[in-house]
Amino acid sequence: MLVVRSQGTPVFGIPIHPDSRGGWISTGYSGALFPDSTRESVLRASVTAFQQLLNVNRMLGFRIEQSVQASAYATPGRTTLLAQLLWDDRNQQRPAYARILPVCTDLVNPGVGVPVVDGASLDNKLLAQYDGDIRNQIRQALRRGLSVRAWILDNSATDAETVDAYRRYMPVQVESYARTGMTAHTLDYWVGLSQAVQRGGGTDVVVLVTDESGRDVAGVTCHAFRGRAIYWSGASTASGKSARANPLALHTAITVCASIGVTTFELGRFDSSERSEKERAITHYKAQFRGQLLPVLNFVRPPQTARAEWGALARSIRSGLGRIGAASRP
């Protein structure tokens, strides 16, 4: 984490994730960090200092994606102001959005910590908010005899509990990733990530769906912190997918998060210009849980080579011509 100060006062921070290819810095999902203020003068000063960092590191590329999990993102005016202050011809932006599901916290705890989650508690207010088709799939999964277990892993969890949850999740993830042509993460990766969340004061929620034979057929992981949660990963076996175990796992995860005080659940992010059929199918699947869409403030600043500068100039000229053409129309 790089924190820049002016006369002893922090003006901005930036998490630094070096890119394996070299020459690039990414903020991951954390984004650049600016003061907790809505005053334009305060944010302008911070963004100006941030832009100076980018300008003096011309041969580095930067990938910035602001965090919808940040409490300040709940203030639309502040986000809009930051978008305006950060605008630059050299930046390339994606039409990215996050699906945010407001959840109620008066749900009955679904029996977390016992071998099986109480299925009756899952027919709740959340379920009633979803699209009809996904509601029916979740109810079908329960009628088919699928059962659910959930782990709440916070800073009181033992290493053994964390390892147990992810040791069970691993076979489901490995099969799911192999089916979709992806490389599965290792057990060390998952345990390390979970422990990092726990040490940071967050809560790692793991949900597994089991069929009647006792085999785990689907799972979901998500992270919660200060009333907000994000859906991190999901996986299923072929039999779990056909038995509607995926939506049952995600619905249970949202319910568990609500029962521990989460009021905002991020279902994930997507690019509205996405061309991958797989990614578009995932976006459609999540849309069935409803919620609202928020634009994700993001940009990529390529290394400022001669070629990149010519590209920025061309974009600026096209933008200017577009504005002239719009102004000349009656």
pLDDT of residue 152 exceeding 60, the answer is yes
Question: What pLDDT does 112 receive?
Answer: 56
Q: What is the mean pLDDT of residues 280-295?
A: 94
Mark out the alpha helices in 36-149 (DSSP H runs): 40-56, 76-86, 125-129, 132-143
Distances, alpha carbon 134 to alpha carbons 5, 12, 228, 245, 265, in Å: 49, 42, 23, 11, 17
Confidence of residue 316 (pLDDT cuts 50, 70, 90): low
pLDDT of residue 314 exceeding 80, the answer is no
pLDDT of residue 118 exceeding 80, the answer is yes
Question: What pLDDT does 2 receive?
Answer: 93
Distances, alpha carbon 179 to alpha carbons 3, 172, 214, 222, 272, in Å: 42, 11, 22, 22, 25
pLDDT in tens, 54-107: 999 999 999 999 999 888 888 989 999 999 999 998 999 999 999 999 998 666
- Higher pLDDT pick, 245 / 23: 245
Residue 126's CB is within 10 A of a number of other CB atoms, namely: 19
Question: What pLDDT does 149 receive?
Answer: 93
pLDDT of residue 253 exceeding 80, the answer is yes
pLDDT of residue 258 exceeding 80, the answer is yes
Question: What pLDDT does 327 receive?
Answer: 56
How many angstroms separate the CA atoms of 38 and 51, rounded? 19
Please name which of 1, 88, 35, 36 lies closest in space to residue 300, comparing C-alpha atoms.
88
Q: What is the mean pLDDT of residues 32-49?
A: 95
Helix (H, G, I), strand (E, B) or coil at 181: coil
Q: What is the mean pLDDT of residues 28-41?
A: 93
pLDDT in tens, 169-204: 999 999 999 998 888 999 999 999 999 999 999 999
For 150-189, b where at least 16 C-beta lie within 10 A, e where not — what string? bbbbeeebeeebbeebbebbbebbbbbeeeeeeebbeeee
Confidence of residue 110 (pLDDT cuts 50, 70, 90): low
Q: Please, are residues 122 and 142 in contact by the beta-carbon 8 Å criterion?
A: yes
- The percent of residues in the chain predicted with pLDDT above 90, rounded, is 75
Q: What is the mean pLDDT of residues 37-52?
A: 96
Confidence of residue 108 (pLDDT cuts 50, 70, 90): low
For 232-244, b where at least 16 C-beta lie within 10 A, e where not — what string? bbbbbbeebeebb
Question: What pLDDT does 119 receive?
Answer: 85
* Structure-block tokens of residue 191: 């345990």
pTM over the 0.85 mark: yes
pLDDT of residue 326 exceeding 80, the answer is no
Sort residue 214 into left (φ over 0), alpha (ψ -120 to 50) or beta.
left
Average per-residue pLDDT for the chain: 90
- The percent of residues in the chain predicted with pLDDT above 70, rounded, is 88
DSSP state letter for 29? T
pLDDT in tens, 136-151: 999 999 999 999 999 9
CA-based max dimension of the chain: 70
